[in-house]
């Protein structure tokens, strides 16, 4: 037997049998012994608190090096919050504005340019002298052109797209402006512009009273007045805005065109005025909201025939004498309700039938551009449309089509009824 054999379990060898080094030993993981690799509770298992679940700053530890600040001020005591009662829901009227809000603010005065460059004195004197010659010739040429267009049935020559060639006054220097053009003094320009500005401002206020103006979200209305540069060249746009402030107006938006300036005034929403609802008891005849007295039936046929002649004649005379300007912007609507007869309303007024008037009102409201319709759903119907039925009856018929009484205007049933299209949300 070799020496190796005797060393690992042989019978002989060096010193006899030796113990086998890899023999069976006591199992340290045997039965009853704890297993250090046994399954331990998972700290991230479901239900266990995750220390990283809530992101946030680490808790602040006290700074051992912090020193007291000798300049620190004690924090003021905060009053305890007072519990506010929950706001109660208020019923919204069907005519309330959808998104109330004030109109845009005006620009500051320094955003407007000052006086412009003066014109050449010789050129101004030459234009002032020659205008007495070419202005009458210009007007005669325009009259001849209109006559040709009238007799040719609209097939005569046509002018450019712009209407500037029709405005002779744009190239005319009145004697009141001649001094301001020659001197270039801001004082002379102010004396010339002040009466023009006052006249245009008063006319705009009258138009507002008649229902003109751009309606804002809060039911206020904005009126605008434009001034071309020839009226304020030596004063500047800033001077126009300064003069407008004397009358309660302010500068409008400065547009891209430097040859004109706008002024504006914001008129607040009208005060609430009691008006009958569409389903209230009918108004009595002769009252503002009730049926109006009709014209004699025997006169209506004569008016229907003769109005073909006297309506154009009165229009031409009004244009020549008053230049088409009247104190009320809706003057022609009021005049037509008194002195004209609509062919569609003839039978309703002649017969005096309530059913005929109702059919006439429905026909007018069914038109795509009924009355004076606008893009924002506002329209109006005049007295000639509902004379024999009454304004309240017109409101009841209009309510069936989704119209309500416009809250942006003071009701004026003796002249017209202003409507706002607001269908019920189903």
What tens digit of pLDDT does each residue of 203-252 get?
899 889 888 889 998 999 999 999 999 999 999 989 999 999 999 999 88
More confident residue, 85 or 267: 267
Domain range annotation of the chain: 109-267, 300-421
Q: Which secondary structure element, helix H or strand E, spans residue 145, and what is its range?
A: helix 121-151
CA distance 120 to 98: 55
**d(Cα 221, Cα 216) in Å, to the nearest integer?**
6
**Which residues are bridge partners to 224 per DSSP?**
264
For residue 340, how far is the Cα from the chain centroid? 36
Give every CB contact of residue 267 below 8 A, 6+ residues apart in sequence: 208, 213, 220, 221, 222, 223
Query: Order of strands, edge to edge, in the sheet holding 250-251?
Result: 214-215, 221-228, 260-267, 250-251
Q: For position 161, what pLDDT does the model report?
A: 52
Average pLDDT over residues 369-382: 71
Query: Of 120, 112, 62, 119, nearest to 243 (Cα)?
Result: 112
pLDDT reading at 162 higher than 70: no
The pLDDT assigned to 279 comes to 83
Count Cβ atoms within 10 A of the Cβ of residue 264 and give its class: 0-12 exposed, 13-18 middle, 19 or more buried: buried
Nearest to 337 by CA among 419, 414, 420, 285: 414
192-206, 372-386, 394-408: segment of lowest average pLDDT: 372-386
Q: By the 8 A CB rule, do 388 and 348 touch? A: yes
Token pair belonging to 117: 């460059």
- Looking at residue 41, what is its pLDDT? 52
Confidence of residue 268 (pLDDT cuts 50, 70, 90): very high
Q: Locate all alpha helices (DSSP H) within 173-299, ordered by sequence.
A: 175-183, 186-209, 236-245
Residue 116 is predicted with a pLDDT of 82
Q: Give the pair of three-digit tokens for residue 188.
A: 């002379």
């Amino acid at each position: 037997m070799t020496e190796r054999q005797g060393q690992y379990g042989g019978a002989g060898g060096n010193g006899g049998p030796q113990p086998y080094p890899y023999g069976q030993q006591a199992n340290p993981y045997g039965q009853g012994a704890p297993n250090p690799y046994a399954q331990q509770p998972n700290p991230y298992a479901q239900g266990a608190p995750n220390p990283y679940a809530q992101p946030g700053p680490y808790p602040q530890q006290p700074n051992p090096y912090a020193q007291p600040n000798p300049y620190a001020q004690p924090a003021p005591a905060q009053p305890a919050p007072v519990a506010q009662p929950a706001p109660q829901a208020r019923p919204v009227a069907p005519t309330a504005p959808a998104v109330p809000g004030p109109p845009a603010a005006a620009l500051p005065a320094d955003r407007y340019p000052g006086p412009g460059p003066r014109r050449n004195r010789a050129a101004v004197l030459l234009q002032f002298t020659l205008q007495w010659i070419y202005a009458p010739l210009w007007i005669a040429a325009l009259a001849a052109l209109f006559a040709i267009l009238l007799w040719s049935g609209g097939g005569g020559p046509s002018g450019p797209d712009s209407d500037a060639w029709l405005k002779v006054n744009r190239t005319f220097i009145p004697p009141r402006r001649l001094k301001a053009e020659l001197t270039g003094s801001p004082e002379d320009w102010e004396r010339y512009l002040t009466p023009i500005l006052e006249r245009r401002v008063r006319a705009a206020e009258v138009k507002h009273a008649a229902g003109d103006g751009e309606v804002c979200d809060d039911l206020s209305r904005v009126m605008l007045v434009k001034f071309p540069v020839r009226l304020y060249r030596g004063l500047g746009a800033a001077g126009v805005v300064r003069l407008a402030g004397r009358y309660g107006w302010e500068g409008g938006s400065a547009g891209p065109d430097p040859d004109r300036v706008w002024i504006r005034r914001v008129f607040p929403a009208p005060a609430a005025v009691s008006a009958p609802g569409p389903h209230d008891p009918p108004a009595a005849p002769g009252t503002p909201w009730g049926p109006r007295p009709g014209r004699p039936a025997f006169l209506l046929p004569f008016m229907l025939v003769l109005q073909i002649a006297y309506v154009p004649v009165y229009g031409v005379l009004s244009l020549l004498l008053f230049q088409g300007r009247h104190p009320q912007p809706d003057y022609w609507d009021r005049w037509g309700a008194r002195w004209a007869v609509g062919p569609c309303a003839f039978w309703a007024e002649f017969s005096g039938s309530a059913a005929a008037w109702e059919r006439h009102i429905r026909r007018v409201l069914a038109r795509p551009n009924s009355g004076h319709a606008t893009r924002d759903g506002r329209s109006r119907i005049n007295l000639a449309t509902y004379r024999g039925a009454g304004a309240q009856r017109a409101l009841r018929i209009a309510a069936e089509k989704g119209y309500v009484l416009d809250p942006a205007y003071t009701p004026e049933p003796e002249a017209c009824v202003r409507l706002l299209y607001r269908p019920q949300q189903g």
